[in-house]
Amino acid sequence: MLIILYCLIFLLLIYGLYRCQRSGLTLGRQVLIALVVGVLYGAGLQALHGADSPIIKDTLAWVGVVGSGYVSLLQMIVMPLIMVSILGAIARLNDARALGRISLSVLAMLMITVAISAAIGIGIAHVFGLTAQGLADNAQAFARGQALVAKAGQLGDQSVPQMLVSFIPSNPFAALTGASPTAIISVVIFSAFLGGAALMLRRDEPEAGERLMAGIQLVQAWILRLVRIVIRLTPYGVMALMVHMVAVSHWQQILELVRFLVASYIGLALILVVHAVFLLLSGISPKRFFGRAWPVLSFAFTSRSSAASIPLSIETQTERMGIAPAIANFAATFGSTIGQNGCAGLYPAMLATMIAPTVGIDPMTPSFFFTLVGVVAVSSFGIAGVGGGATFAAIVVLSTMNLPLALAGVLIAIEPLIDMGRTAVNVNGAMTAGAVSSRWLGMTRKVEED
């Protein structure tokens, strides 16, 4: 009976959000309301029954129909959206050389910000005095870490040339299924080649090229209409995801590692400051940027998935920020698997800095510092934009630096809570790369004020 009651209350909360949506509230305000309501409801459930209660588990199974269902809908449209958007954006370019400038500009921003993020991670770990000394004596933590070692063989043994080759899709239809961690990059490359072929067709056979462009534009409009339908469901998905996160959090485990948690969020905040500085230097108002990015960052925070945030990111960049479609698509898609500032920048650097003293290495020596920053930047290529991606990034970095993997196990207890902030910073870094690149290349259009 309690499960039925709690599900009915959740349905009433959904109806309340529906009424807010009908009243004309902006998407950002709808998401904020959903976020607060989700936290309060999830905290109430945990206070009544505890995080491990069967009642909580059964209730969240039904709540997950909305939360996980929304994430699945976004994942459903990611690959079609990437393909038609990049194909259409490139096909509309008047100069094929613009494609090279766009990709280089976006990648340069992602690489610069992930390197800075790594430096921030090293500094934060040093300032807070974070260390892994003694963690090997914690049998439970060590056992957790041993489970990571098995994954290292899959991730750490791949050379940089092999990794670059893996980006090229030998079977683009297999890449469209999202079967591999680098599938998104493979789809981007395939779509870019299709767009380049369309450019050549427009140049050599104008009549056929125009017919092709009409078909591309029709399919693109169709997919974008689907995207807008799914995006309207964002408040409901955010509320359900937040209920689940708060209801099952083990606060005692979190309190045991609170110093690392606090240090991580201070580091993430500093990365956002770095983003704001780049925006200011490019003549973009950080206040306006973050205000328009809020719905995307809220979803990234609750879903812990950079890849699932791609449709929201592209729509926000193009419609609310005036960023050129080609740049918005490259920034959102590349940023979900390359140069993730939080997961592939800050976290591995903090972890390596903590672990280095356990094997007699001073992490603040210039040689270790600059080597680590370089390894983090290169290793950020191809990290999966889903929950747990930071763990994979850490495995690659620690393996490359010849540091023990098992000592990282103790941090798994608070991974989900930290990962929420990291994912939001990843997505913000990608959107910042898009906004700055669009301004640098003079491709930003004016949009109406909110």
DSSP 308-361: TTHHHHHHHHHHHS---HHHHHHHHHHHTTS--IIIIIIHHHHHHHHHGGGGT-
Instruction: Report residue 434 as tokens.
Output: 């898009």
Res 411: pLDDT: 60
Could you give the CA distance from residue 281 to residue 275 in angstroms, rounded to a whole number?
10
In the chain, how many H helices and how many E strands?
Answer: 19, 0
Could you give the CA distance from residue 334 to residue 120 in angstroms, rounded to a whole number?
22
Mean pLDDT of 329-348: 84
| 155 pLDDT tier (thresholds 50, 70, 90) | very low
Question: Which range is least confidently modeled, 78-82, 127-131, 157-161, 225-229?
Answer: 157-161
Percentage of the chain modeled with pLDDT above 90: 20
Mean pLDDT of 103-128: 91
CB-neighbour burial class of residue 171 (10 A; exposed 0-12, middle 13-18, buried 19+): exposed
Mean pLDDT of 95-116: 83
**Domain segments of the chain as ranges:** 27-49+60-440
Mean pLDDT of 196-225: 85
Res 450: pLDDT: 53
Percentage of the chain modeled with pLDDT above 70: 81
Counting Cα atoms < 13 Å in the Cβ hemisphere of 108 gives 12
* pLDDT over 70 (residue 150): no
Tell me which range, 162-166, 175-179, 317-321, is most confidently predicted by mean pLDDT.
317-321
Contacts of 270 (CB under 8 A, 6+ apart): 120, 124
Mean pLDDT of 136-162: 51
Tell me which amino acid residue 38 is: G
Rg (C-alpha) for the chain, rounded Å, is: 22
| 153 pLDDT tier (thresholds 50, 70, 90) | very low
219-270 pLDDT per residue, tens: 878 887 887 788 788 889 888 888 887 888 766 656 656 788 889 999 999 9
Give the residue with greater pLDDT, 246 vs 215.
215
CB-neighbour burial class of residue 139 (10 A; exposed 0-12, middle 13-18, buried 19+): exposed
| Fold classified for 27-49+60-440 | Proton glutamate symport protein (1.10.3860)
SS3 content of the chain, % helix, strand, coil (to 5): 80, 0, 20
Tell me which range, 34-48, 90-104, 191-205, 428-442, is most confidently predicted by mean pLDDT.
428-442
| 406 pLDDT tier (thresholds 50, 70, 90) | low
Res 413: pLDDT: 53
345-364 pLDDT per residue, tens: 898 899 889 888 877 888 88
Res 225: pLDDT: 83
Res 256: pLDDT: 56
Backbone phi, psi, residue 175, to 5°: -65, -35
| 432 pLDDT tier (thresholds 50, 70, 90) | very high
Mean pLDDT of 269-293: 94
Question: Which range is least confidently modeled, 49-53, 181-185, 329-333?
Answer: 181-185
Mean pLDDT of 132-139: 51
Res 113: pLDDT: 94
Res 426: pLDDT: 92
| 430 pLDDT tier (thresholds 50, 70, 90) | very high
Mean pLDDT of 399-425: 71
